[in-house]
Structure 1
Amino acid sequence: MDQFVTILLLPLALAILMFGLGLSLSIIDFRRLILFPGPLLLGLAGHILCLPLIAFLIAIVMKLPPPIAVSLIVIAACPCGITSNVLTFIGRADVALSITMTAVSSLISVFTTPLFVMLALKTFYGDMAMPNLHLGSAMEKLFLYTALPILSGIAVRIFYPVLTRQLLLWLRPVGFGILLTTIAYSVLMNWSLVLENIIVMGPLALLLNLIAISFGLWLGRQFYLDSRQKLTLTLGLGVQNATMATFIAVTVLDRIDYAAAPTIYGAIMVLNGLVLIRFVRLRYS
C-alpha cells in the first residue's frame, strides 16, 4: 500500500493539480506578464531565491541536524502552492497574478529545486552518508509531474476551449480529492513521525512561514504594490507546494521520514494564510 501511494497516487495527484493549473491560465494572464511584469518578477525572485536562502540561514544559525535542515530547505525550495490560489480567491486578492506566479514558479522550480536540495545535502551532511540525489533524474521527474502537465493544460486551453470548461468542472474536485486522500494517508502512515518531529519541526515551520509572510508584506510596501497585489504576493511567498515537497521526500529522495515536515508546514501555512486574510480584511474594511 505504501508503494501504491508513493509510486502512483502522490505523483498522480501532483500531475492532476498541475494540469488543472495549466487549464486555469488564460491569454489575459500572459498579456499581464508582458505588460505588467513587476509584481510577478518580484514574487518569483522572493520565492525562488530568497526563501531557500532564508531556510539555509535558519538551519545554519540554529545548527539543525541534517534531516531537519534538509526537510526545511526542501519546503522552502518548492514553488508557490495551488493552495495559495484558493486563499487568494478567498481573500479577494489578485487571482490572475496568483495563478500566473504559481505556474511560472512551478516551471522554473524544475531546475532550481533540485539544485537547492543538492546544495542542502552537501552542506549539512558533509562526509556523512546522505540520501542519494541524481540531479538529472530529479529534474526529469519534476518535469514529468509538474512542467509537462502545466504545459499540456495550457495547450488544451488554447486549442480546445470547450473541452477546457468541461475538464475544469470535474478535474478540480477530483484533483483535490486525490490530494486530500494522499495527505490523509500520509498523515496516518507517518503519524508517529509527525509526533516525533512536531516538537522540533513545528516551531521551525512556524518561524519559516512567519518570516516568509513578513518578507512578502515588506516587499509589497517597498515596491508600492496596491493592497490586492500585496496580499497576493504575501500569500504566494507564505504558501509552498507541500504536495511537491512530499513528492521530493518520498519519491525523489526515497526518505519517508522527510514527509513529516511538509505535513506540519502545510497545516501551519494554511492557518497563517487564513489569519492574514482576516487581518487584511479588518484593516481595509
Structure 2
Amino acid sequence: MQSNLFTTVLLPLALAIVMLGMGLSLVPEDFKRITRYPKAVVIGTACQVVLLPLIGLLIALVVPMERAIAVGLIVVAVCPGGPSSNLMTYLAKGDVALSVTLTALSSIITVFTIPILINLTLQHFLEESAAISLPIGQTMLQILLITLLPTVIGMVIRYYFPDTARRLEKQMARLAIGLLALIIALLLVREGSKLPRFLVQVGISVLLLNLLATLAGFFTAKLFRLPLSQQICIGVEVGIQNGTLALAITAGLLNNPDMAVPAAVYSLLMYITGFFAILYGRKVSTSASVKA
C-alpha cells in the first residue's frame, strides 16, 4: 500500500478524532483515582502492557501464519486499550472509573513501549526486511501528535467548557465509529483478493488473542480478589484493543497492508465478543446483587 490519502490523512485523522472524543470524557479527577485504588490499576496495567503482548507473541509462535501476519497480530497486542472499552465496561456493569483510568494510563505508557516492542518484533520475524524498520524517535513523535495531543485538547475543552464538551462527546463518538468502519471497509476492499487466504490464518489467531486476553484479564483480577466490577472492567479493558491505532501503525507507519489484516479483523471481532462479555457481566452482576 503506497503512501496516499488513505494512509497519510484518513488513518491519523480517525485516530485523532477517537482520542479527542476520549479526552472530552476525561477530567483531572480520573487520574487521581490511581492513588485511590492502586492495586486494581497496577494489575490492570500489568495485564495490558506485559501479559497481553506475551499472549500475542505466544500465539504468533504457535499458530502457523505468514510472518507479516504474525507481526500484525503482535502490533494489535502491544497497542493500548481502545476507547470502546469504556462503553463496554459501562454496559457490562463494570467499574467505569477504573476503565477510563486504565485506558488513559495504557495510552500514555504504550507511546514509549510500542516503538521498542514493534522493532523487536520486526527483527525477530522479518530480519531480512530492513526497509520496514520503525524509526523510534519519529514513531514516538507521530503517536504523540495523533494520540496524546488530541486527548489533552479534549480535556482542556472539557475543563473550560463542560457543557460544550458533553454535547461534542456524543457527536465525536459517532463520527469516530463511522470513520473506523470506513477505514476497515476500504482496507478490506483494497485487499479483497487476499482475504480468503488471510482469514483462514487470521481468524483463528485473532479469536485466540481476543478470548485469551479477556479471560487473562478477568481471572488475574479474580486471583487478586478484586471486586466483581473491577474483574469485569479489567477483562474488558485487556480484551478491547485500540484497533484504529493498530491500523494506523501497520497500514500507515509500516506501510504494509498484510500486517494490517489482523487489526482490521480484530476491530470487527472484538465488538462481537464484547457483546457476549456485556451479557455475561450483566448476568453475574445481577446474580451478585440478588445474593447480597
> TM-score under structure 1 normalisation?
0.93
> For residue 148 of structure 2, what is the aligned residue in structure 1?
147
2:290 paired residue number: none
Unaligned stretches of 5+ residues in structure 2: 287-292
Which residue of structure 2 lines up, in the alignment, with residue 265 of structure 1? 266
How many residue pairs get aligned? The number is 285
Output the TM-score relative to the length of structure 2.
0.91
Cα RMSD over matched residues? 1.9
1:28 paired residue number: 29
Which residue in 2 is equivalent to 1:3?
A: 4
Distance in 2, matches of 1:259 and 1:124, equals 16
Which residue in the other structure is 1:228 paired with? 229
Q: CA deviation at 1:207?
A: 1.1
Per the alignment, residue 256 of structure 1 pairs with 257
Amino acid at match of 2:96: V
Contact 1:193/1:260 (8 A) holds in 2: no
Q: CA deviation at 1:128?
A: 4.8
1: distance between equivalents of 2:121 and 2:64? 13
Gaps of 5+ in 1: none
Amino acid aligned to 1:17: V
Conservation of the 8 A alpha-carbon contact between 2:7 and 2:252:
yes
Find the counterpart in structure 2 of residue 246 from structure 1: 247
2:220 counterpart of 1:219: yes
Give the deviation of 1:30 after TM superposition: 2.3
**Residues 119-268 of structure 1 aligned to structure 2 (within 5 Å):** 119-129=120-130, 131-268=132-269
CA distance in 2, matches of 1:80, 1:115: 18
CA distance in 1: counterparts of 2:164 and 2:93, whole angstroms: 28
Contact 2:40/2:226 (8 A) holds in 1? yes
Matching residue's letter, 2:38 = P
Q: Which amino acid aligns with 2:161?
A: Y
How far is 1:169 from its partner? 4.2
Aligned-residue offset at 1:96: 1.8
Measured in 2, the distance between the counterparts of 1:205 and 1:252 equals: 21
Q: Which has the larger displacement, 74-83 or 38-47?
A: 38-47
Q: Describe the shift of the 1:175–1:62 C-alpha distance in structure 2 as closer, same or farther (beyond 3 A).
A: closer
Structure 1 residues 163 and 280: CA distance shift in structure 2, 3 A: closer
1:73 aligned partner, one-letter code: I
Cα separation, 2, equivalents of 1:279 and 1:60: 31
Q: Deviations over 1:221-274 (max 9, x none)?
A: 111111111111000011111111000011110112222111111222221121
Is the 1:205–1:264 Cα contact (8 Å) retained in structure 2?
Answer: yes
One-letter amino acid of the counterpart of residue 276, structure 1:
A
- Contact persistence 1:209–1:269 (CA under 8 A): yes
